[in-house]
Amino acid sequence: MFIRSLALPLLLITAAVVIQADDDTVVFHSDVSLARVDAQVVDSHNRTITGLRVTDFVLREDGKPQPIRNFASEDMPIDILLLLDVSASMRPHVQRMADAAQDALRVLTDKDRVAIMVFDTTTRVRQGFRSNRSDINRGLSDVLYQERFNGGTHITYAMLNAADYVRREARPEARRAIIILTDDGSQDGRDDAGVGRALSRADAVLSFLQAEDLTPQRRGGGYPGGGLGTTLPGGIILGGGGRRGGYPGGRQVANHSAGTADIAKDSGGDVFPVDDASALEDTLTRLRQRYALNYNSAATSASDGHPVQVDLTNAARRHYPDAEIRYRKVFLSKDSRQAGPISITRAHSADLSDVETADRAPGPANGVDELTTPKRRRVAVDQSYGSNVNLAGPDGDNSSPSSAPGPPK
């Protein structure tokens, strides 16, 4: 009887130890959700800062430092959709991209994938996500030889379709990006907020390769090879033309900006002129040089009221005093992923020894939350707390952090 009575307490103690041991390795708890912050760090000349480590970042939710459970940078796979404008006059620009692609694609890894979608007044998937570079180059060549380049342009419609495609087809574990090549002259309505929401649902960054508008909109002339007719008062163009037979009723609205540059910047992407021979390579490189910071969030969705702030530690700020961090929070779940708006942490103007937090200011109407220059005040916790909070090493394992970042690579 004594042995039996002793066995029960021992069993309970053993179970408690097992539970405690399991708790030490558990990342996900019932009261938290997995979230990721996708961040780009640039200097005052808009050049990306690479080589940062987990110990160089401070991540706060609701003003409280959060442990970074997993950290990745250039080793994280990426799915990229090339969204190509094949309307009238765009052939030279697509040719320029195709010529540059063979060299540009070398910056990608075997884990990265590229898909190709084209658009004029409709969108068409020319090639699904592929990792083989020869397939991608062949897909770009097929666009040049099989598209007619004589239609109108619906850029807003194309961006919405592209975001939806990425949301459905991109891998859950990969970063997601859309690179759009267009001259920004569109004939459908501009909808910055709608496209921004679609990009957030897809957790995708939009980068813009801006082409020069080569379309001469002359009275009675229209687009080269487009078959457009006479321009009427009010900017309405009558006539056929267009790959799909033009617009309903033959009525085409004169070109106006689709806001592509603003949408790209608000999503955290870049804008480069496609005339620059290295534009595609620079864009791909910058997409690969982003940082991913995973942590356990108290929020249940990306829009939940738990604001996130990301900054560099004091030690990293001393190396990169003018650094600007552009980031967005991504809520990850088994069934879906949601992304919040882009936030920006700008360089501190105050003494770095006294400041390591920033005060959130109301975001502008375009939906970009910006962090103002912080008030001058003492840090609420010891400045060495970064080594206790930033837990993950580059491979996602806990590591012993150093006090300062390594030299730029």
Query: For 24-78, what is each residue's pLDDT tens digit?
Result: 333 434 445 778 888 999 998 888 999 999 999 999 998 999 999 888 887 789 9
- pLDDT mean across residues, the chain: 74
73 or 305, which is more confident?
73
Residue 221, number of CB atoms within 10 A of its CB: 13
Residue 196 has pLDDT above 80, yes or no: yes
Q: How confident is the model at residue 216 (pLDDT cuts 50, 70, 90)?
A: low
Structure tokens given for 393? 């090493």
Average pLDDT over residues 139-160: 96
Contact indicator for 141, 127 with CB cutoff of 8 Å: no
Q: How confident is the model at residue 389 (pLDDT cuts 50, 70, 90)?
A: low
Where do we find the tokens 């090639």? 127
At 271 the three-state DSSP class reads strand
Query: How far is 378 from 157, CA to CA, in rounded Å?
Result: 49
The CATH H-level superfamily of 78-288 is von Willebrand factor, type A domain (3.40.50.410)
DSSP string, 147-171: ----B---HHHHHHHHHHHHHHHS-
Domain boundaries, the chain: 28-74+290-389, 78-288
Residue 155 has pLDDT above 70, yes or no: yes
Of the chain, the percentage scoring pLDDT greater than 70 comes to: 64
Structure tokens given for 184? 């920004």
Structure tokens given for 216? 């001469």
Query: For 80-138, what is each residue's pLDDT tens digit?
Result: 999 999 998 899 999 999 999 999 999 999 999 999 999 999 999 999 999 999 999 99
Q: What is the pLDDT of residue 337?
A: 64
